[in-house]
Amino acid sequence: MGAKISSGNRLSKQNYLTLWMLGLLVVLIVVVSILQPAFLSPGNLRNVINQNVALIIISMAVTMLMTTGNFDVSVGGIIGMGGVLCAWFSQSTVQGGAGLPYGIAIVLALTAAAGLGLLNGLLVERVGVASIIVTLGTMSIARGIAYIGASGSMVTTGLPKVFRVFGVTEIAGFFSLPMIFMIIIVLAFLFVEARTVFGQRVYFIGANRNAAKLSGIKVGRQIITLFVISGFLSGFAGIILASKLGGGESKVGLSYEFDAVVATILGGTSVTGGSGTVIGTVIGVFIIGILSNALNLFGVGTDWQSIVKGLVIVAAILFQRFAAGRRASRAA
C-alpha cells in the first residue's frame, strides 16, 4: 500500500514537471515560428526529427540508468564504433574489409556494442568502480576502435548497396525508416517504464538502493542489463548514422554523450536517481534540437551557437527548478 502511494506521488510530481517542460517546448516552438516562419515547413520539421533520431534512441537507456543513479558517457564512442564496425565487417575484402553479408555485419557490430555495455555494467556492479569513471574509459576504448577500423577517417568504399537502406528509405513521404525505429523504441521504453516490474524496479533502485536490495530486487543484475541495453542502442544508433552518411566515420557520435545527459536532465531526471521519465527526455531532446535548428535558420555561426545553446540550457534548467519549487510550495 505504501509503495503504491509513494509511486503515485512520484508520478504526479514527475508529470507536473514534465508538463512545465512541455510548456517550455511549446513556447520555444511558437517564438521560433514567429521569428522564422520557415521553421514550420514540413521539410524543416522532418529535418528536426531526423537529426535527433539517434539522440532520442540512446537517451532512452541513459534515462533509465540515470534514474538508478548511474551515468553512461560511453554512448558517443560506442556510436562511432558501431557505425565503423558495421561498415568494416560488410566492406569487400578487396577494399580491406571483412567481406561479410550486411545482416551478419549488423549483428557483429551490435554484439560488440552490447559487449562494451556489459563491460561497463560488470565494472560498476562487480568491481565497484563509479559509473562515470568506467564509462569515460570505455568511451575512449570505443573511440579508439573506431579510429583504427576507419584508419582515422571513414570507411566508404566497397560497401554493399543495402548499406544505405536504414538511412535513406522513406515511408509515406514524410517518415524515414530511422524515424520508425525511433518511434518503436520510444514506445517500447514507455511500456517498460509504466507497465512492467522491470521499469518500476528502476525507480526503487534509484530512490533507495539498499531498500531495493532488502526487498529482494537483484540490483546488480538490473543495472548490468541497463548498461547492456545502453551499449546495444548506441551501436544501433551508430549503424543508422553510418547508413545515412554512406559509410562508417570514426568521429561520428562526438558530444552525443553530453547531449544525452543534458536532454535527460532537461526532461526532469534527477542526477541523484529516483525520478525521471522517458517522455520527459524526448521533450528535452527536442528542446535542444529545435534550438539548434533555429540557430541554423537564423544563420548564427557555430562559435556563437555553443554559447547561445549553453545559456538557453542553463535557463531551461533554472526554469525546471522553479517549477519543482513551485510544486513543493503548493504541496506544503
pLDDT beyond 80 at 297 = yes
In order, the DSSP letters of 111-139 are HHHHHHHHHHHHIIIII---HHHHHHHHH
Domains and CATH numbers, the chain: 17-324 (1.10.3470)
Amino acid, single-letter form, for residue 186: V
pLDDT at 94: 93
pLDDT digit string (tens) for 127-141?
999 999 999 999 999
- pLDDT higher for 7 or 231? 231
Q: How confident is the model at residue 9 (pLDDT cuts 50, 70, 90)?
A: very low
State the Cα–Cα distance between residues 319 and 120, nearest whole angstrom: 33
Question: pTM of the full predicted structure?
Answer: 0.91
Chain centre to alpha carbon of residue 171: 23
Place of cell 545559456: 311
pLDDT at residue 3, rounded to an integer = 38
* pLDDT of 315 above 90: no
Average pLDDT over every residue of 23-35: 93
3-state secondary structure of 245: helix
What is residue 306's predicted lDDT score, i.e. its pLDDT?
81
Long-range pairs for 118-123 at CB < 8 Å and ≥24 separation?
A: 118/224, 118/227, 118/228, 118/231, 120/72, 120/74, 120/227, 120/230, 120/231, 121/223, 121/224, 121/225, 121/226, 121/227, 121/228, 122/224
* Dihedrals phi, psi of 274, to nearest 5 degrees: 100, -15
Average pLDDT, the chain: 90
- Residues of the chain with pLDDT > 70, as a percent, come to 93
| Confidence (pLDDT) at 113 | 98
| 233-285 pLDDT, tens digit each | 999 999 999 999 999 999 999 989 999 998 998 888 888 888 889 999 999 99
The answer to whether 77 and 140 have CB atoms below 8 angstroms apart is: yes
